[in-house]
């Protein structure tokens, strides 16, 4: 383990762990509610040092053939797999995720490393012979230079791995600022990449707060910023990065609806919804937080089956594999989630299953919220308009599929959505016309696999290109187009041969 | 002809020419210096009407199969070719371009229409079978909705055709605000697309000034903005569009250098430089405005050969095909260009060929500047740092190729560049390491063909994606990723067959 | 018109119509049963002359930039559209197709010309920077040289246009041997391409029989052969071409089944089946000739609805637009089709609608067969095993979808197939597991659009690559991979500059 | 080690080593000339058992998601790296390659495994929305079934890994028949893939002779055959496989020329030629066996520098890392190579460096030939026309580059070629016009990296598609195109909702 509870978690700069002791903040174990460690908050100078080291490492790394860069990723994948349990334990302690869930997250992160292993193929440019007589032209995708990632607490392993493996495989060097809430697993993963053979300085990690973020956003050596977090921050990041001449993709909040059609296989839908709504305590930007039932018959069946299915759900500490999901990240966040439930109730919705006061024996101070089901939610309610980010599933009742789709298209966010149906035409119409970036047909968490790309529409993503996958390659490279004509050759025509000096 | 000198040039909204008479401004014939027409300046309400009509036309156009959309482009190409002379005359009268140059511009515009004819192929998404057991996933590229283009005076036919044919072929509807300096050819071209069978409202043209621009930038129905112009405006457009939730690509200024290596075929280089520096009076963002000679021997040869070669160059009115280039766009711009020449001289450079007082018989009031060659320019001079946008070629002398490349990499702009050499290694090193988006090897104007993409680096382009070509397709579409699993089928397994109602 | 009834149809060689008068054979009007013209049958020498002219035209055409080659295709498309009625009349007279059907065929041919217009994009190679340190590698797709096409009577316009536009756009030159049964439209289309600006000798047409075919197959200047016809001939063509060192794709016969599921929209299915089974008298390799009904209930409904729907179907002469379909190609072929109907009956099937003795007033000698529906066909019947190629729809009854699929997978041919269902899972399972190259979901004639590729599986196609579309580009080009490293540059490092001779 | 000198090398069938004792043949250690082992020669029944097991394993493997199939390849790569020394020792003992050379071969094989790890990306199909109104179409690339590989002695590790990793990653199952001369490393590698988690029966290895080959070529369960060997056998394989309804790519012989231009960096060229001509004793299909010097001045310099540079070259046993290359594969082959040298001499060429009687102390019975340089070879000589496949470099002298290129274009083979020059135009002209599939610019062994494809032209390859890389994916899959339309949905429109049963 890199860190112990009595040390302060540092930064990874130029291949070494660096302490920047001026400022720090506690890291909690949300299952117990206790402080487990301190994390150093990087000063401007420390962040600038990280940038400088990335800048210094860039020229050599850029010239390293993609095949060699890929081979570092192959070894990285292997080390991630060998150390999976250790990583999951770190995630559990600081984030609260149950090990099975942490393992799922890690696996999705590894998928992105696997994708990055294919970088020689992915970087192929386009070659055109004879764009004019004896003139050829081709486009290359060159790395940007030093790029930065700013990542959220909810996926401390996966979301950073959406970014740095691909960015680095593309030939960039990287400065990562992970969440200060659960920094250990991220730092450890970065050390594994170092161990895999990455040259020092190519990946640097700085823990920190707004000081670190703003340094990254304004330093002109940073060429691009990838961000995942809430929409207001995403908007700030995007605007600031752009104003400072940087390329940016900033992913924000979500409110993901599932339409349950009358012809759906209802048992299957209920089963799928459970994991999608309550997994990871709903602290996922792809969490399915609203079920839109078409017709009261479907709604009644859905609610009653959900209520029954939720009974065995178990919330508890990360260390017990039999738990279904763990605490939320902080006490403040727990209160906020509980507040949304109460506000729903006050606004006239029916709290069918109430998780506001969960009993978790032996973990009285943990930040727990139980699985909650709220029926008869309406679009005007604040709890509908905003992202709850907790283990709360809201049910909205509508009369027609068109009405259900309108609801989704009118919402501020457009991250993920899903329809449950058996009908080919309904599915096709839905996937075509819905204003959402990631669409599931009977798939409640339609997170694209690593070789497709992740991205919401509307105010769920700021930027032109989606995260990871093919769009990620495009984001982390810039196009250069070369047009070439050779003047008539003395050498070929024998001139220089016939009259050598 | 759509317009005559006594009428005011209007707007194309919903397939009809609309007059918005409140405000107008004169359009000059720069060859004579006289006002030839008036152009209406659209009010906010008129622009909003254009947006509304584009919005109304969107749903049907989006659903029109790409093959059908392409067929409108096929007919458009044909009409552009049939009316080429008329278009070139319009360009000549208002912009000042000689017909051969206008024809070249138009041809490059038509190339982009040809590319758009291939939209069924270009819109293909990525399909993955079995991303999980019996789960399939695919990515589609869907249109954005209503998009806008804001285009400069220097290519009234070509630059708009970088934008709207592809945007429209992708399924978007369009509002174009062309330059108010030379609006006639652009408007006429738009009418030809209408004639080609485009449904009314899919393409709308509003002439105007900052009022029109700001309306486009802030109206929330506009989903994306493409801009070509100067860097300060590009930066404003980009920031404002982004702040208003729009996708944007904004192309700005340039200072394009050619390195002339000692082994270059000097006669060929001189020949190429002439057209690249003085064609279209240097009013091109890809104009070659700086020649960097490596070694004094190469520099001396280059300057003396250029001086000789410039003697027969003829500046004059657009209507005389024997002229090499025409006037600049306005009297103010002429004064600005002349100012840069004088400033070079004052700063210590040598004006080898002086075009400040050209004689153009019969066109005393035209906005002419003659071809100008300035030797011994240095990087500190204002005339080197800024874009002159006139028929002025500056020569900078350096001792090594590295020095030449450093000069280019240090410049604010990174649009185009070129090297003249016979040597494979020098060319490869240059194209690899130069911080410029469009690179020529013995090609002085490396404008990518329509099936590649156009874009500078550094402060020559704001945005992630280049203009037209494959990047254009990506810019005018958004990615949607669908993940699909079908629940076990009663139909297939005979259940519903065995127990029909 | 190129030909009149009293002349002999010649060959197009080097841009001119050439007569090779030694041997000829009659061309019939199948609506009247009368001979309308003679067609010359090329001797070996004439075919060799065509090959020689194509060989001579190759070097210049290969070097013509793809963009210029594409522009010939743009003009060709325009000429095809302008002369569509004339082409359709030619097809009708010699093939018997009703004008609406001929127009459909022509349109599909034009689609392939449109696809070929995109050749600059389609020919892009793959470019890799730094496959090793300072070593780059790229793949180009170069043309093959002279290639040949051998095409069948049933689509005299479309099938040749699957081949030569794309082959020629790729930079090849072409010798086409169309069907000698209906050669006029093909020859005329070739002349239009000439008129569109194709250099002489790039496309040559030879009419002929086995002499011509064998000359093409054995002449070593021919680098590739595309063939469409029956399976035994396809197999001969493929083996002979391969043995003579040629690339070959040879498309053969078909027996296309539609599965009608119990949940299908039966009225829709019936409606679709009519056109798919009887259009063009069933003389299509994609004709839907077997309906497999799952369950007797579906079978009974299907047969009774088909019987009803077939009542208004009208067979007759090509010249009457109100006819649904026309005669078959020859008297012999009529007898063969009638023989299959009788054989079905003899083998125990039920002829529900009998077209063996159609009455076509005023056309007593035309080669007509009426629309025929045969129920209770079984897999052992000869009429099931073989391709009928006439207006005959057979119904096979099965109990389960698995049984229906097994039937299809066991058949010798695997060209096209279709399922009628509303169920997503059934459709997905079918399209995944069926051993057929072109699959329709509620689409009875799943002919891929021009930007996909056409090809059956099993004994319906010999070769690795499908026809037209992306596979067509790959078929008509060969890959060349170049790996490049430049030795250290005296020029760049100043050596040759410092010490010039 | 799988095998010891006293056992007979068996076959890998269904995950187990199987002995088929009826027939066997000796395996030599070519460094000592002694028999080291016996290899079993599979009977028809044994090969059919391997095919049957592959057939049985196919359905489940086909359905395994590509991501899972890729993960087996990730583990396989790791095992290959961990066991590299062992594999190289096996190669050395049976083939005679020095360890550094064997390691290079293995590395190239591993590259192909790395490429196969990217199969989820590589298998993406093409998706088109709205090919018609509400009709979508997409193309999938489905596996073929059971496919076979037949591989040569000269790369017992690499060439099999050109084939089975990619074929298997595509979803096929495989029967490999490696060379019976050096079977141990191949068999061991196959066992490693098993150990990596490949399900039993997916990869099977049969050792054998013509009996095994012919069984593979004629068994109808085999869907495709990949072959690498000599041209006469390649031609037989191709014809036989095709006649039996199989897809086939058969790679044959080569005669690879390097043009040395007068402007070449001569020391660099000489240095490159040494390894390319004599590495692996010239037993490579990409060996550079002919240097074409342009001009006597270049020729004289080349020959004298080569003669000097060849002095320290050391031929000897595989076990001594200081040796440059080892023995040839058999005594018969040694005699054949020596015969070609003598025949050159008899035909009038000059044997400048003579390797016919090399002294290898302690290895008197090894099959050694020393590095040989022959000047003044002419195109009429048998030793020029045929592939020598030994450590022999021939020099041909010509006067012009055109003459050099004509020589290459006239040769039967067109596998690889190279030019040494500094001149951009000469390189471009050469790479464009040379009739050879793999071209080097100052790269003497232009073997494409694994993410491009390997293939010669003319009689060096029979088939449409090249080996490995993108063409390999295409070869091991077949295209299926699906066109889908859903009939109007009762579910969506509320019909079935409004009127439930």
For A309-351, the pLDDT digits (tens) are 999 999 999 999 999 999 999 999 999 999 999 999 999 999 9
- Kindly give, in sequence order, each residue whose CB lies less than 8 Å from that of residue A182, ignoring residues fewer than 6 positions away: A27, A91, A94, A95, A153, A156, A329
Q: Which residues of A180-207 are buried (b: 16+ CB within 10 A; e: fewer)?
A: bbbbbbbbbbbbbbbebebeebbbbbbb
The runs of H, that is alpha helices, within B257-415 are: 266-278, 296-310, 331-346, 382-385, 401-410
Instruction: Please check the confidence at residue C274 and state whether its pLDDT lies above 50.
Output: yes
The answer, yes or no, to whether residue D500 has pLDDT greater than 60, is no
Q: What is the token pair recorded at C27?
A: 């061309």
- Say if C118 is an interface residue toward chain A (CB within 8 Å): no
| B114 pLDDT more than 80 | yes
Give this complex's ipTM.
0.95
Give dist(CA A249, CA A241) in Å, integer: 9
Is residue A2's pLDDT more than 70? Answer: no
Do A212 and A177 meet the contact criterion of CB atoms below 8 Å apart? yes
Interface test with A, best of B127, B415, B461, B464 (most A CBs within 10 A): B464
Task: List the one residue out of A17, A29, A51 whose CA is nearest residue A194.
Answer: A17
The three-state secondary structure class of A46 is helix
What's the whole-number mean pLDDT along residues B471-500? 80
State whether residue D80 sits within 8 Å of chain A by CB: no
Q: Which of C114, C490, C494 sits opposite B400 (nearest CB)?
A: C494
CA distance A478 to B439: 14
Backbone angles phi, psi at B80, to 5 degrees: -65, -40
**Which pair of tokens denotes residue C23?**
């041997």
With 0-12 CB in 10 A as exposed, 13-18 as middle and 19+ as buried, what is D243? Answer: middle
At B29, the pLDDT band (50, 70, 90 cuts) reads: very high
CA distances A212 to A147, B53, B285, C294, Å, are 14, 46, 38, 67
- What's phi and psi for D296, nearest 5 deg? -65, -30
Token digits for B157? 């036919």
CATH 3.40.309.10 for domain C256-441, yes or no, is yes
3-state helix, strand, coil in chain A (%, to 5): 40, 25, 35
Sign for the CA dihedral angle at B383, B385, B386, B388 comes to: positive
Q: Which residues pair with A228 in a beta bridge?
A: A251
Q: What is the pLDDT of residue B47?
A: 98
Residue A439 has its nearest CB partner, among B135, B480, B489, at: B480
A448 chain-B contacts, CB cut-off 8 A: 137, 139, 481, 483
Of D117, D491, D500, the CB nearest to A421: D491
Give pLDDT, residue C7. 78
Question: Does the pLDDT value for residue D501 go beyond 70?
Answer: no
d(CA A148, CA A215): 11
Residue range D315-344, pLDDT digits in tens: 999 999 999 999 999 999 999 999 999 999
**Mean pLDDT in residue range B119-142:** 97
Residue contact C138–A132, C-beta within 8 A: no
Mean pLDDT of B345-371: 97
The burial of C1, by beta-carbon neighbours within 10 Å (0-12 exposed, 13-18 middle, 19 or more buried), is given as: exposed
Q: Residue D496 above 60 pLDDT?
A: no
Is the whole-model pTM more than 0.80?
yes
Query: Over 60: is that where the pLDDT of C495 sits?
Result: no
pLDDT band, residue A1 (cuts 50/70/90): very low
Q: Using the predicted structure, report yes or no on whether residue C336 has a pLDDT greater than 50.
A: yes
> Annotated active-site positions of C, please?
285
- How would you class C83 by CB atoms within 10 Å of its CB: exposed for 0-12, middle for 13-18, buried for 19 or more? middle
Helix (H) or strand (E) holding C148, with range, is strand C146-150
Residue A495's pLDDT is what? 52
Structural fold of domain B8-252+460-481: Aldehyde Dehydrogenase; Chain A, domain 1 (3.40.605)
- Per-residue pLDDT, C2: 45
DSSP annotation of A282 reads G
Instruction: Indicate the pairing of strand C461-462 with strand B256-260.
Output: unpaired
Judging contacts by C-beta atoms under 8 Å, the chain A residues touching residue C132 are 65
**Contact (Cβ atoms closer than 8 angstroms) between residue C108 and residue C448:** no
pLDDT digits (tens, 9 = 90+) for B161-208: 999 999 999 999 999 999 999 999 999 999 999 999 999 999 999 999
Taking Cα atoms as reference points, which of B229, B234, B214, B188 lies closest to residue B94?
A: B188
Evaluate if residue B4 carries a pLDDT over 70.
no
Question: How high does pLDDT run on average in chain D?
Answer: 95
How would you label B115-124 residue by residue, b for 16+ Cβ within 10 Å and e otherwise? Answer: bbbbbbbbbb
Section A163-179 average pLDDT:
98
State chain C's maximal CA–CA distance in angstroms: 96
Do B392 and B282 form a contact (C-beta atoms < 8 A)?
Answer: yes
Residues comprising chain A, all counted: 501
pLDDT tens-digit map of D336-366: 999 999 999 999 999 999 999 999 999 999 9
Touching A: D residues 125-154, CB under 8 Å: 129, 134, 136
End-to-end, the C-alpha distance of chain D in Å comes to 69
**Neighbouring C-beta atoms of residue D16, cutoff 10 Å:** 14
Residue A6 confidence (pLDDT):
60
For residue A486, list chain D residues with Cβ-Cβ distance below 8 A: 423-425, 428
Which pLDDT score is estimated for A488? 78
- Any chain C CB within 8 A of the CB of A499? no
Structure tokens at B55: 């919005």
CA dist D164 and D196 (Å) reads 14
Catalytic residue among A88, A170, A248, A285: A285
Label the pairing between strands C392-398 and C288-294.
Answer: parallel
Q: Cα–Cα distance between D248 and C242 in angstroms, integer? A: 11
Its sign, for the CA torsion D50, D55, D60, D62, is positive
With a CB cutoff of 8 Å and minimum separation 6, the contacts of A357 are A370
Task: Output b/e per residue, A345-376; b: 16+ Cβ within 10 A.
Answer: eebebebbbebbebebeebeebbbbbbbbbbb
Kindly report the backbone phi and psi dihedral angles of residue C334, in degrees, each rounded to the nearest multiple of 5, phi listed first.
-55, -45
C500 has a chain A CB within 8 A of its CB: no
CB contact under 8 A, B484 and A139: no
Cβ within 8 Å of B, A 188-247? 238-239, 242-243, 245, 247
In angstroms, the Cα distances linking A449 to A76, A454, B472, C499 are 19, 8, 25, 59
pLDDT value at residue B287: 95
pLDDT in tens, D1-51: 344 445 799 999 999 999 987 899 999 999 999 999 999 999 999 999 999
Looking up tokens 């408007």 gives B187
Q: What is the model's pLDDT at position A63? A: 97
pLDDT (average), residues C107-111: 98
Measured between beta carbons, which residues in chain D are less than 8 angstroms from residue B63?
A: 130, 133
The Cβ of residue D362 has, within 10 Å, a number of other Cβ atoms equal to: 10
Question: Which pLDDT score is estimated for D6?
Answer: 59
Query: Residue A379's CB: how many other CB atoms inside 10 A?
Result: 13
HSE-CB of B389 using CA atoms within 13 angstroms: 22
Is residue A141 scored above 60 in pLDDT? yes
Residue C361 CB burial class (10 angstroms; 0-12, 13-18, ≥19): exposed
Task: Give, for D477, the enclosing helix (H) or strand (E).
Answer: strand D477-485
Task: Decide if B132 and D65 are in contact by the 8 Å CB cutoff.
Answer: yes
Is the Cβ–Cβ distance between A254 and A456 less than 8 Å? yes
3-class SS of residue A122: helix
Contact B483 A126 (CB under 8 A): no
Q: Which residues pair with D441 in a beta bridge?
A: C484, D419
Q: What is the DSSP letter of A415?
A: S
- Tell me how far apart the terminal alpha carbons of chain B are, to the nearest angstrom: 68
pLDDT above 60 (res D495): no
- Predicted local confidence at residue C251, as pLDDT: 98
The reply to whether residue A128 touches residue C124, judged by beta carbons under 8 angstroms, is yes
Predicted pLDDT of residue A22: 86
- The pLDDT score that the predictor gives to residue A482 is 98
Answer whether C457 touches B (CB < 8 Å): no
Shortest CA distance from C489: residue in chain D? D422
As a residue count, chain B comes to 501
Q: What is the per-residue DSSP string for C309-340?
A: HHTT--B--TT-TT-SB---S-HHHHHHHHHH
Summarize the confidence of residues C253-272 as an average pLDDT. Answer: 95
Distance from CA of D246 to the nearest CA of C (A): 9
- What integer pLDDT is reported at residue C5 of this predicted model? 47
Strand-pair category, A372-375 with A350-353: antiparallel
Q: How far apart are CA C205 and CA A390, in angstroms?
A: 72
The DSSP bridge pattern shows strands C372-375 and C203-205 to be unpaired
Residue A3 binned pLDDT confidence (cut-offs 50, 70, 90): very low
Tokens of C310: 């077939």
* Known catalytic membership, residue D285: yes
Whether residue A457 lies within 8 A of chain D, CB to CB, comes out as no
List Cα–Cα distances, D464 to C384, C390, C471, D147, D410, in angstroms: 34, 35, 11, 17, 21
Could you give phi then psi for residue B293, rounded to 5 degrees? -90, 130
- In the block, residue with structure tokens 């290129």: D405
3-state secondary structure (DSSP) of residue A453: coil
Distance from CA of A19 to the nearest CA of C (A): 37
Which of D238, D452, D457 minimises the CB distance to C478? Answer: D457
Say if B450 is an interface residue toward chain A (CB within 8 Å): no
- Each residue's pLDDT tens digit, A425-462: 999 999 999 999 999 999 999 999 999 999 999 999 99
Domains in chain B: boundaries: 8-252+460-481, 256-441
């Amino acid at each position: 383990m890199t860190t112990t509870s009595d040390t302060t978690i540092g930064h990874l700069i130029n291949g070494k762990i660096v302490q920047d002791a001026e400022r720090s903040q506690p890291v909690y174990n949300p299952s117990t509610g206790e402080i487990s460690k301190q994390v150093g908050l990087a000063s401007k100078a420390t962040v600038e040092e990280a940038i400088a080291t990335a800048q210094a490492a860039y020229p050599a790394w850029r010239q390293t053939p993609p095949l060699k860069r890929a081979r570092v990723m192959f070894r990285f994948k292997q080390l991630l797999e060998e150390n999976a349990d250790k990583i999951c334990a770190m995630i559990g302690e600081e984030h609260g995720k149950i090990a099975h869930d942490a393992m799922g997250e890690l696996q999705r992160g590894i998928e992105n490393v696997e994708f990055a292993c294919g970088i020689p193929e992915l970087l192929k440019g386009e070659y055109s012979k004879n764009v004019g007589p004896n003139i050829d032209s081709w486009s290359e995708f060159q790395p940007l230079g030093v790029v930065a990632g700013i990542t959220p607490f909810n996926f401390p392993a996966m979301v950073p791995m959406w970014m740095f493996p691909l960015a680095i495989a593309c030939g960039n060097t990287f400065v990562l600022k992970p969440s200060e809430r659960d920094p250990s697993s991220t730092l450890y993963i970065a050390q594994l990449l170092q161990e895999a053979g990455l040259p020092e300085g190519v990946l640097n990690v700085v823990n920190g707060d707004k000081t670190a973020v703003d340094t990254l956003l304004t330093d002109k050596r940073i060429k691009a910023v990838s961000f995942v977090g809430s929409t207001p921050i995403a908007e700030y990041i995007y605007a600031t990065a752009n104003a400072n001449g940087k390329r940016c993709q900033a992913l924000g909040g979500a409110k993901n609806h599932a339409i349950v059609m009358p012809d759906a296989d209802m048992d299957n839908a209920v089963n799928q919804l459970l994991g999608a709504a309550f997994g990871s305590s709903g602290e996922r930007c792809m969490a399915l937080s609203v079920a839109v039932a078409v017709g009261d018959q479907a709604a009644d069946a859905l609610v009653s089956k959900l209520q029954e299915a939720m009974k065995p759900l178990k919330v508890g500490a990360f260390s017990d594999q039999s738990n279904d999901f763990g605490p939320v990240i902080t006490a403040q966040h727990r209160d906020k989630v509980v507040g949304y439930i109460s506000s729903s109730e006050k606004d006239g919705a029916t709290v069918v299953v109430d998780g506001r006061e969960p009993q978790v024996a032996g973990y009285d101070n943990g930040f727990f919220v139980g699985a909650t089901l709220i029926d008869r939610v309406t679009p005007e309610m604040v709890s509908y308009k905003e992202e709850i980010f907790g283990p709360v599933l809201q049910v909205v009742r509508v009369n027609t599929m068109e009405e259900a789709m309108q609801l989704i298209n009118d919402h501020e966010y457009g991250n993920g959505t899903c329809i449950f149906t058996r009908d080919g035409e309904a599915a096709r119409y839905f996937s075509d016309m819905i204003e959402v970036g990631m669409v599931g047909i009977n798939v409640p968490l339609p997170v694209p696999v690593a070789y497709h790309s992740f991205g919401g529409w509307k105010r769920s993503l700021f930027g032109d290109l989606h995260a990871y996958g093919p769009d990620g390659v495009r984001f982390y490279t810039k196009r250069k187009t070369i047009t070439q004509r050779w003047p008539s050759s003395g050498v070929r025509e024998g001139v220089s041969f016939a009259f050598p000096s």
